[in-house]
Structure 1
Amino acid sequence: MNTLTGRSPSRLYIGVDIGKDRLDLAATDFRLSVENNCAGWNKILANTRKLKRHVHFVCEPIGHYGGAFIRFLHARNKVVSLIPGIRARSFARATGQLAKGDRLDAEILAELGRRLKPPPTRKPKKTESELRAVMRCRFQLLRCCATEERYAVTIRYPKIRRILEPVIQAMKAQGRALDDLSLKVVSRDDVLFKKFHAFCNVSGVGEVTARTVLSELPEIGSLNRRKIASLAGLAPYSKDSGSTAAPRHIQGGRRKVRPALFMAALAASQRNPVLAPFYKRLRARGKLHRVALTAVMRRLLVYLNSLARKIDQDAMAPKPPPTATAKTKRNWIRAALSKRAHVKGRRICRRVHNAVT
């Protein structure tokens, strides 16, 4: 099977398999393998520039190994599409490609780009990238702290427990420091801070939930209710066949945002003036506790998405020019009169000057 791509004269899809040490690229009549560092990335740009075509890179998001490379491409205004690994692997099986390797994976990604034409991945803002890095570091640190606390309970020897206690306290202190750092990052962006403040005003949503949603779902406000629920992994998918109607289940999505939304939904189901009656109605209809909470999570996320959309629309709306004071007008007129303008321009400026003074 020939999985080579790029027959379109307008756009060339290049698959990139990202590894720890190397990057493998494949397209039609194009093969390249470079080191995963700045010198290798510049070599990729130099070789793709010789093709004299619109290049569209297709990669898999594999964490910190490829994060720097993706930021490098975005900084140079290159078109990049990030494809989930499970989607790329399913596409390979659908095309009959069962073997796996670095070069083969790059060819499969290029073939996927040519056939499916995935949309470009949006370039994240600097504050969004910083907030995501801080929140993920906090998540990892608190998870390690919880593991050490569970381990400390089972220790029989007091000396070992005394050694672990300062470590646990230090982890908690670092977690609080990361909370403060995330608040500083949010406050540097006006739109991000407005979203954070609006989310925190919703009954049941705390600061941690608001920061987690903003870091893990930067697309919030730009998608409709179905897409944002699917992106968070809260969309119920059907598995019907013939006369069989199986129960719907949620799956996929970004898993780090669901625990935060679950705790927010748990609080909102008890005190939120809109979601609490909604939760009680579902329970009265015989829905299980987890099923009703999942529905509350989705409705809560949809409402947060509507709040973020309104804030984005207000930020993009043209703002009226600020009203100039009399002193500002006099300074502007004085500067206009001092320039060597045409006679007509001088007459207009003097007329305005006389009207103001």
Structure 2
Amino acid sequence: MNSIICGVDVSKDWLDAHIRPGAAFARFANDAAGLGELLVFCRSHRIELAVMEATGGYERLAFLWLWEKGLPCGIVNPRSVRRFAEAMGTFEKTDRIDAAVIAHYASIKQIVPTVPPSAAQQRLKALVSRLSQVSGDITVNKQRKSATTDAETLASLSTVLACLKREEKRLAGEVASLIDDDPLWAKLDKTFRFFKGLADRTVARLLAEVPEIGIVSNKAIAKLVGLSPFANDSGKREGPRNIRGGRAGPRGILFIIARHVARYDPHLQAFAERLQKAGKTKMVIRMALARKLLVILNAKARDARIEFANAT
């Protein structure tokens, strides 16, 4: 257990830091100078772990920079921290209070450092994210084009679409090259394509957003992606099992493609038919198929990683 922890509440402009045990507090700008001051503050208190919430990207700079300087960092779920605060009777919410709550939460939960992604992993995730954004923009502009008859507007939309399609093609090529250039990713890519209907973008999405695939257990990967149903029982009542949390991006793509893959895979198709005959709803079947596909991919990725390690 880490005895000295720094809870860092991250916002766009500020880094609020609280040391636990104790009550040392300081605020720093969320920029290069502020990060340097935060590092000095942490080292002066001999902290063993800095912990911050996942805040949609604002925490990335501090997280990677502190790791680079040799200070281990952990990332925690903001919803869990908020519920912990309320459970402890802390309903007030300020940046200073939040920093103290993060440190307290990390201490109680015995949070361990979150290993930072490699430079290649960061680039792959950024490229895949941007490719998804551009593809979304193409869909939006196609819808706009179909909804208008004005010649000038149509010409403008056609120009924008042409530009977006060129960028989509370029980004897709960058992603494919990045995967091909990495021997392990290339092997996993080939392994995943065992399933007919599993396209290149789906594989890239999994490699970018679920780097743990093939490393953790089947139960852990399902929970990580948010496809593990939670028990909801009390006494004699057996409530419905629902899913929540996890990584929305990979979960969403698995929902979409699992049914498609099942059309070509007899085992998945038989699994879906058994659920249908058991009277399960369409949504339950979709969730179960997505989880089944993820678990199979995780097992195949584990075998591929072992084979790759033995070959090198």
**TM-score w.r.t. length of structure 2:** 0.93
**1:261-272 alignment to 2 at 5 Å?**
261-272=254-265
**1:243 is matched with which residue?**
236
**1:154 is matched with which residue?**
147
CA 1:63–1:112: 2 relative to 1, 3 Å: same
Paired with 2:168 and 2:99, the residues of 1 have a C-alpha distance of 39
- The match for 1:195 among 173, 177, 188 is 188
**1:106 is matched with which residue?**
99
**2:5 is matched with which residue?**
13
Paired with 2:181 and 2:196, the residues of 1 have a C-alpha distance of 25
Point out the more displaced range, 23-32 or 224-233.
23-32
User: What are the Cα deviations for residues 194-224 of structure 1, in whole angstroms up to 9, with x where unaligned?
Assistant: 1111112223321111111111111111211
User: What are the Cα deviations for residues 285-305 of structure 1, in whole angstroms up to 9, with x where unaligned?
Assistant: 222233222211111101111
Which amino acid in structure 2 is aligned with residue 125 of structure 1?
S
CA contact (8 A) 1:16 1:109 kept: yes
> Following TM superposition, by how much is the alpha carbon of 1:271 offset from its aligned partner in structure 2, in angstroms?
0.8
- The match for 1:300 among 269, 293, 298 is 293
**1:53-202 alignment to 2 at 5 Å?**
53-202=46-195
Q: Secondary structure at the match of 2:17?
A: strand
Which amino acid in structure 1 is aligned with residue 288 of structure 2?
A
Does 1:49 find its partner at 2:49? no
Does 1:223 find its partner at 2:213? no
Does 1:22 find its partner at 2:1? no
Paired with 2:193 and 2:180, the residues of 1 have a C-alpha distance of 14
Paired with 1:56 and 1:316, the residues of 2 have a C-alpha distance of 31
Percent of matched pairs sharing the same residue: 28
Paired with 2:68 and 2:304, the residues of 1 have a C-alpha distance of 26
**TM-score w.r.t. length of structure 1:** 0.82
**1:323-342 alignment to 2 at 5 Å?**
none
Q: Secondary structure at the match of 2:48?
A: strand
**2:245 is matched with which residue?**
252
Q: CA RMSD in A?
A: 1.8
Count of matched residue pairs: 310
**1:347 is matched with which residue?**
none
CA contact (8 A) 1:208 1:260 kept: no
Paired with 1:100 and 1:218, the residues of 2 have a C-alpha distance of 34
Structure 1 segments unaligned to the other structure (5+ residues): 1-7, 320-357
CA contact (8 A) 2:16 2:96 kept: yes
User: What are the Cα deviations for residues 254-312 of structure 1, in whole angstroms up to 9, with x where unaligned?
Assistant: 00112221232122221113212211222222222332222111111011111222233
Structure 2 segments unaligned to the other structure (5+ residues): none
